[in-house]
Structure 1
């Protein structure tokens, strides 16, 4: 694993505009960055990223089965009681799910360590599935990458195949939805919609703010049609808090991601996984936060938090780093394990699960040890017998 400098494509911004990648720059700051890429060997990908992703995914699914049967665990995860039966029924029916992302710390030399699961509303999908693949093809054609370079990336094909397999279970009309003013989220749901259409599924878009409610408690579109299925890039726990939340359990609307993903989108799965698989090489020690320290350092995360918000990090030297944000409530505490640093940048690997298959990854860099929503997305390539030289990782304790 190395970070390798490379010349940007002169026309990448025009290419981004052509394919609707409107969020390559966010608040005036670059989000997409192709001035470098991360080079991996095939062994690193297959043994250290793909295989652990698949194994941890199976462990996570087994955990759902435990949680839906145990009131004490549902309480630990701070899931409102009103939704317990709804979530359990969704799991017992095995309501179909589309995708998820695991975030790992990995430097190319040791086991990848799971930071968290993003299994309800994972983003960075379009840039991982499409734009970095386009980057690879263009750089191969112009000779900027070694012949035979590849990428861990069958995300698009997996999305279309998974949609095809669940098509008969998607009630019509089917909508994809996100917050109207979120350019990134709207770009993600537009890509999901395209994948559904490629699988032969009729699909429309609606903003979360435009969801309606009929007199008999069913969700409707702007034409007062009852919505059959909804892919929502909007956190389930936020839907629970909305005025319409209480109707979710009896509206009959199918959700993608399904209600049982409320368990796996919760940081509380980290201590639960550790309790069941203590010492697993890809897990970090974790516990529900009761003030007990984890030597020699720890990271505190709210059960419900996203994009690096409201993180408290105590480093082994006693210093502390905190991030602001809107999240509060119960927390977990995870053992400190630093992200590798390449050329002054802390890099996080996001490994994608589509259906039940590990099928690709994307990397984000931040100048801070906490990966925030301002982190840069960097493409990657699989290059065995690496000829280019680039900086190796350093670890900052």
Structure 2
């Protein structure tokens, strides 16, 4: 993988905004791109497929052998835990998720986390970087079947057709853009859609209704399951076909990294991870529930005492438990530290998007940079 400077398109802002990417700010960058070989892309695809398989096996293991994981580590209400089991046993289908990988010095992808429930940076990965490639490198390829995968997945998940509601925090421009893009893929698949604020959903007698009084039968929510389980356990039990399915709550936390480490200690993709502070070493300390790199630090531990190696990022997730994931120092590319977001659509690897940062911890100040295959 190489990071190569390139001249930005003169009219790129107008072009990406015409595609609905009006919340880009300084986040979208095209004065450089990442270049991959076919072998490197094949390696990423295989790592993604294997990572998803391991995560699914970890969920099965938790449900069979770690009865206290949901109640005591994730603090999920008992009745919601039962709904999670039912959802998993019914094989409720997933639409999407995004693994965050770091490439080790030998090129091996290392799992940093799995954004299994509410991943964003979707529009830019699926549509915006493809437009850039078509304009700048029309004869090159890009690892990007995300859009086509989404359109097909709607048909697979809801073969009966019908209406789909899309709910989230509409005061957040990125969330709104993500919801609108996903709704457009559902419309392309033949569905009628409605986008609304999560707070506009009204729970009555075990069912949700929209502001027009229409029952919500199918709903994609860009709203974390752990928030919903805490705020409205009854809402988690409502008669709605949710996306993501509620079993994704078991994947969308950092504690599962410890289960993964226990089950697959020899996997080249898995970094050792612990629920309690190790005796010594360099570790990335992460809250069990956090997003956008908030409240993450790197700690040097000696005789169980922590010393700050890289200061904790800002955020509001520092009130709960943490995990300690072995720190693998990232390789800089042109003074930037990239994280490869590898998308799983309908249970299959579908493409990548790259965010980079000037510091070693990727946070919400990271920048999106396109890629090609040469």
Contact 2:336 2:358 in 1 (8 A): yes
Q: Secondary structure at the match of 2:271?
A: coil
Contact 2:228 2:236 in 1 (8 A): no
Paired residue for 1:291?
277
Paired residue for 2:360?
369
Paired residue for 2:310?
320
Moved over 4 A (4+): 315-318
Count residues in correspondence. 366
Is 2:39 aligned against 1:54?
Answer: no
1:162-181, CA deviations, whole angstroms, 9 ceiling, x for partnerless residues?
A: 111112266x5420111011
Is 2:206 aligned against 1:221?
Answer: no
The verdict on how the C-alpha distance between 1:201 and 1:160 changes in structure 2, with shifts beyond 3 A counting, is same
User: Deviation of residue 294 (structure 1)?
Assistant: 4.7
Q: Secondary structure at the match of 2:332?
A: strand
For residues 217 and 308 of structure 2, the distance between their equivalents in structure 1, rounded to whole angstroms, comes to 53
For residues 254 and 292 of structure 1, the distance between their equivalents in structure 2, rounded to whole angstroms, comes to 41
User: Deviation of residue 279 (structure 1)?
Assistant: 2.0
Contact 2:76 2:229 in 1 (8 A): no
Q: Secondary structure at the match of 2:192?
A: coil
Segments of 5+ residues of structure 1 without an aligned counterpart are: 142-146, 384-397
The verdict on how the C-alpha distance between 1:169 and 1:76 changes in structure 2, with shifts beyond 3 A counting, is farther
Aligned residue among 156, 169, 175 for 1:179: 169
Paired residue for 2:251?
264
Segments of 5+ residues of structure 2 without an aligned counterpart are: 302-306
User: Deviation of residue 107 (structure 1)?
Assistant: 5.4
Paired residue for 2:238?
251
Contact 2:147 2:185 in 1 (8 A): yes
Paired residue for 1:278?
265
Paired residue for 2:38?
42
Bigger drift between 113-122 and 158-167 goes to: 158-167
1:279-312, CA deviations, whole angstroms, 9 ceiling, x for partnerless residues?
A: 2111100011x222452x0011111000010112
Paired residue for 2:339?
348
1:329-363, CA deviations, whole angstroms, 9 ceiling, x for partnerless residues?
A: 11111001122211111111100000111010000
Is 2:132 aligned against 1:135?
Answer: yes
The verdict on how the C-alpha distance between 1:202 and 1:268 changes in structure 2, with shifts beyond 3 A counting, is same
The verdict on how the C-alpha distance between 1:188 and 1:308 changes in structure 2, with shifts beyond 3 A counting, is same
1:14-59, CA deviations, whole angstroms, 9 ceiling, x for partnerless residues?
A: 112211101110xxxx000000000010001102x11010011011
Aligned residue among 197, 202, 209 for 1:212: 202
Paired residue for 1:390?
none
User: Deviation of residue 248 (structure 1)?
Assistant: 2.2
Aligned residue among 224, 235, 238 for 2:224: 235
1:228-283, CA deviations, whole angstroms, 9 ceiling, x for partnerless residues?
A: 011011111111222xx122243201210000000000111101011001121111
The verdict on how the C-alpha distance between 1:217 and 1:343 changes in structure 2, with shifts beyond 3 A counting, is same
For residues 283 and 208 of structure 1, the distance between their equivalents in structure 2, rounded to whole angstroms, comes to 35
CA RMSD of aligned residues (A): 1.6
Q: What TM-score do you get using the length of structure 2 for normalisation?
A: 0.94
Is 2:18 aligned against 1:18?
Answer: yes
Aligned residue among 299, 303, 306 for 2:291: 306
Q: Secondary structure at the match of 1:43?
A: helix
Contact 1:308 1:323 in 2 (8 A): yes
User: Deviation of residue 315 (structure 1)?
Assistant: 5.1
Paired residue for 1:392?
none
Q: Secondary structure at the match of 1:280?
A: coil
Paired residue for 1:192?
182
Bigger drift between 75-84 and 258-267 goes to: 75-84
Contact 2:105 2:331 in 1 (8 A): no
Is 2:98 aligned against 1:101?
Answer: yes
Paired residue for 2:304?
none
